[in-house]
Structure 1
C-alpha cells in the first residue's frame, strides 16, 4: 500500500473505499458482444449495478440478429433502468453509411454510439463486462472525482491472477513505449500519458460535456485515444485516476485474430495520433530500438518483482512478446477516428430509435 500522488490526482483505496457519488445523475455504459452475454462475469457486472441503481445503464451491443432477442431478455431480467443499444443493427449501419460514418466496427465504435446517447446525463461511466472482480464500489470511485471538480477519471489496478502477472499489453508495450518517448520529448502530453498507472484500463468516467468532445478510436485504440482527448480538454488539473484494487478478466493470446499482437498496432496508432495532435513528432527511425531498451529493462524489473512475491514468471516469453510488439512502433497510417458528437450532424436520438426498431423486428 502507498499514497503517492502523480501529476494527475491519484485516489487510493486504503480501507475498502466506497465514497459517496452522484449515481442518480449518471449513465453507465457497458459494451458487450454476443460472447459476453450471460457469462458469469457479465452477470456479476449487471447484478452489482443493481446495487448502484444509476440513472440509466446502456448495454452497447455488437451481435448477430439471431442473438439479439436473448440478450435483450437477459438484460430485462435485471432490476435496472437499462436499455440495449444494438450498435451493429442493419438500420443503424445504414444510417451511419448515409452520413459518411461507415467503416470498421469494433468496441470503440460501439462505445462512441453509446456516448452520444448517454451525453444527456451529467456524468457518464464506461467499463467492460468481463471483470470477474467487479463491484458496485467501482462506479462510486470513478464518479467521485467528477463530483469534486474533475472532468475525467480513469481506473487503475493490479493485474495479478493465478500466481502470475498479467496486463501484458500495458506492461510490455504501452509503459515502455511511453518511457521511450519521455526520454526524448519533454512534452506535457507525454507526461500526461506517463502519469496514469494503467493507461489501457477500460474503466473511465467523464462529464457529459467532455463526452461530447471526445473523438473515439473505432477499435482497440479506444482507451489511449480517450486519454489523448482528455489531455486536450481536461488536462492535468481536470483529470484523476482511482484505485480499483485487484482486477481479473479474460485473457487474450498474443497471436491470432484479435490477439495482443493485433491490439498493439491499434494502441500504438492511437498513441501516436494523440502525440501528433499535440505537436509531438517522434523519430520513428530510432524509436523501435529505444522502445526495446526500455521494455527489456522492465522485463528484468518484473522478473525481480515476481520472484519477490513468489509468482511464476517466464522471462523468455516476455521478451518474445517485446519482439512482437516492436513491429507496432511505427508512424500511424490514416486517422480513422470517429468525430466528436459536437462536430457531427448525427443525432443520438435517431440512432437510439433505429436500434429500438431493429430490436423489435428481431424479437
Structure 2
C-alpha cells in the first residue's frame, strides 16, 4: 500500500467504492453544478478515443454540462461535430473557437484594447471554455480528447474533491501510470526523462525553494486532466504555449493555498503520443523548451532567483547525471513488470532533452517574458457581458448547424441516478 503524502494532498485509490462516491456526487451536483470541458481538434472526431469518451460521458449523471472547445476549419466540420455529440444527455455546448461568431467577439475585445486573437492552440481553447463554464458550474473538470483508457471514473475522481465541502479543495490534478500496449512499455517521456531530473537538478543548484518543492510534490505534473472551482477559473492566467500544464501549476501556486490543492490517482492511463521532434522547436523538444521557460520564469517571479549563463551550463551538467540515474531505475522497474524498455533509446531521448536546456536557457536570458492569456477578471472588466455573449453565439452556431443538417434539438431529459458499479481498473 502507498499512503505517502506530499506537500499537497495526495488522494490514493485504495480500492475505493466508486459507486458510493458516484451516488454522493450526484446529490452534491444538484446544488453545486459541474461541467466537463474537452478541448479538441476536429481530427479527434475521426479517431476512436473521442467516441469512447462521449459514450462514457452519457452515463455521468454527476456531470451537469459538457463544453467541447472545437477547432474546425469549415462550417461542415463544425456541423458534423454538433451531430457527433448530439446523443449526450447533458446540455452540451460545441464552442467553435475559430468560427466567425467567436472570432467576431474577440475582434470586439481587441478593439477595446485587449487582443487575444494572436493566441492560438490549446491555451485559447481552455481559456474560452473556462469562461463559459464558469457561468454554469461551481466545479469544472478538463481533460483531453485523445484518452484511450477513459471511463466515467475519471471525471468522478477529479470533481468529487471539489464538491465535498469538508475537503476544502479548490484544485485537483490527475496522476497516473502511462503504460502503453503492443508492446507493453513505459510512456510519459517528457515527465520521466525531462521534468523529473530537471526539478531535482534545479533543487540541487538553488536549494529547496518553495516553488520547486511544490512542483516536486506532483507525481505527474504534465497531466492534462484537472478540475478547479469557478472562482479559480476566473482568476487564472492560461499559458498559451506547450508549457500549459506546468504553467497552470504556477498559476495555482500563486493563487491557492497548498492545503486546498490535491492530486488524485486515475490508475493506468494512456493517450496518443507526440513525436520526439527533429529540432528544439518541434515535437516533444518544443514541449520541453516551453516547460523549461515557464519553470525558469516562475523561479524568478516567485523566488527572486537571478539566472546567469553559468547557471544554465551547470543545469545541463546536473540534468544529464540525474537523467542517467533515472534510466537505470526505470530499467529495473520495467524489467520487474515485464515491460519493454530500450535503455539505449531512452539515453538518446535524454541527450536531445539536454540540448534543449542550452537552447531554451539562452532564449530565457535574452527574453524572459512569457506568453500567458490574461485572466477572465481582466477580460470581464473590458467587456462585462463577454461570457454571456460567448454562450449566446455558441447557441447560435449550434442552431445553425442543426438547421443545416436537418435535425431538431430535443429537450434534454432530467438525468436520473445511475445504477451499476464504476470500473476501478483505469
Q: Say if 2:47 is the partner of 1:36.
A: no
Cα deviation, residue 361, structure 1: 5.6
Q: Taking structure 2 as the reference length, what is the TM-score of the superposition? A: 0.80
Contact 1:229 1:274 in 2 (8 A): no
Q: 1:144 to 1:358 in 2, by over 3 A?
A: closer
Q: 2:203 aligns with which of 163, 175, 182?
A: 182
- Indicate whether 1:55 and 2:77 are aligned: no
Give the unaligned 5+ runs of structure 2. 405-426
Q: Is the 8 A contact 2:194 2:288 kept in 1?
A: yes
- Partners of 2:346 and 2:158 lie apart in 1 by 32
SS at match of 1:124: strand
* Structure whose CA Rg is larger: 2
3-state SS of paired residue (2:372): coil
Q: Which residue of 2 aligns with 1:351?
A: 390
User: Which of 248, 263, 269 is the aligned partner of 2:293?
Assistant: 269
Question: Secondary structure at 1:78's aligned position in 2?
Answer: coil
Residues 187, 280 of structure 1: 8 Å contact kept: no
Q: Secondary structure at the match of 2:118?
A: coil
Contact 1:108 1:221 (8 Å CA) reproduced: no
Aligned to 1:310: 338
C-alpha RMSD over aligned residues: 2.0
Between the aligned partners of 2:293 and 2:102, the Cα distance in structure 1 is: 27
Segments of structure 1 that go 5 or more residues without pairing to the other structure are none
Alignment of 1:320 onto 2:348: yes
Separation in 2, partners of 1:178, 1:85: 37
Deviation at 1:313, TM superposition (A): 0.8
Q: What's the CA shift for 1:134?
A: 1.2
* TM-score of the two chains, using structure 1 as the length reference: 0.94
1 CA distance for matches of 2:116 and 2:17?
41
- Number of equivalenced pairs: 363
1:289 aligned to 307, 317, 335, which one? 317
| Aligned residue in 1 for 2:421 | none
Question: What pairs up with 1:183-222 in 2 under 5 angstroms?
Answer: 183=204, 184-222=206-244
Query: How far off is 1:61 after superposition?
Result: 0.7
Shift of 1:115: 0.6
Q: Which has the higher helix share?
A: 2
Which whole-Å CA distance do the structure 1 matches of 2:131 and 2:222 have between them? 22
- Are positions 1:72 and 2:82 aligned together? yes
Cα displacement (A) at 1:356? 4.1
Q: Cα distance 1:216–1:181, how it changes in 2: closer, same or farther (>3 A)?
A: same
